[in-house]
Structure 1
Amino acid sequence: MDGSVAGATRPEIKLTVSNKADQPFVKGRRKFFRYRDLGVQAATGGKLRAQVMEAITGMTEPTGWHTHQCEAQFIYILKGWVELEFEDGTRTRSGQGDAVLIPGGMKHNEIATSDDVEILELSIPGDMATKPCDPPQGQSQG
């Protein structure tokens, strides 16, 4: 196959299949979560990252206000719930089947989770840095 789709060049993205049994959960940026990489970042040359985050325990304290250095972060709640607050004053408790798209650079704070929360998280690009920040005016740190 020549890599073209209807006359256009196919993007440099590789087919990847991630089997749960082959991708163990590992520690990551939050001590109350474990993470399972789905192989998307490697397959897209870093354009997109997909991972599953699963609670080790429910949150014992808020994460504190922070931003992500990315274009966007998308979360889809597979199980349980997560409570978030945002710089614009929005506060939400999202549960199974709910989705949240957070623009890159938007201040937000994870307040609480259920003990059994499981989340599918995507980010564009795949390399997403987390940076602590001051709370928005009128908001407390935690």
Structure 2
Amino acid sequence: MKFSIQHAKDKAFAHDGLREYFDYRDLGIFDATDGKAVMHVIRASKGSNATGEWHRHELNFQFVYVLKGWAIFEYEGHGQHKLVEGTCVHQPPHIRHREIEHSDDFEVLEIVLPGEFKTITM
């Protein structure tokens, strides 16, 4: 593993992640851990909305911490939940879920292991 430090001014948000309605800012963890983990800040892309498709991720660990705004997610077997600033979610591996709606200023910190994983849309 490599040492990594990144300042906000070092890396801009990019429209290059899993969902077209989000922008992503890579925090350098994928490279620092040789792909064992990925960490990024995700924020709502201006003028776009969630599409609400059910999906699941083939991974070992997923953690989401809401930094700003709110979103409504639905988790299979657990119902709908409104995530607000300060909400912490551990999404167990393979849990089916979908995002229904989010605020224009929605922003989260996400940590995923491993750094590369497969998403299955249903």
Give the structure-1-normalised TM-score. 0.79
- Structure of higher RCO (CA pairs closer than 8 Å, 6+ residues apart): 2
Q: CA deviation at 1:128?
A: 2.4
Q: Is 1:55 the equivalent of 2:44?
A: yes
The unaligned stretches of length 5 or more in structure 1 are 1-12, 134-142
CA distance in 2, matches of 1:129, 1:58: 27
CA distance in 1, matches of 2:99, 2:60: 19
Correspondence for 1:96: 85
Correspondence for 2:11: 23
Alpha-carbon contact 1:41-1:47 (below 8 Å) kept: yes
Correspondence for 1:75: 64
Alpha-carbon contact 2:50-2:102 (below 8 Å) kept: no
Correspondence for 2:115: 126
Share of identical aligned residues, percent? 37
CA distance in 1, matches of 2:88, 2:2: 26
CA distance in 2, matches of 1:85, 1:103: 13
Q: Is the alpha carbon distance of 1:123 and 1:110 closer, same or farther for their aligned partners in structure 2, counting shifts above 3 Å?
A: same
The unaligned stretches of length 5 or more in structure 2 are none
Aligned residues: 121
Secondary structure, counterpart of 1:42 in structure 2: helix
Alpha-carbon contact 2:63-2:91 (below 8 Å) kept: yes
Alpha-carbon contact 2:14-2:23 (below 8 Å) kept: yes
Alpha-carbon contact 2:52-2:98 (below 8 Å) kept: yes
Q: Is 1:45 the equivalent of 2:34?
A: yes
Alpha-carbon contact 1:68-1:130 (below 8 Å) kept: yes
Amino acid at match of 2:12: P
Structure 1 stretches of 4+ with a deviation exceeding 3 A read none
**Whose Rg is larger?**
1
Q: CA deviation at 1:116?
A: 0.4
Alpha-carbon contact 1:58-1:114 (below 8 Å) kept: no
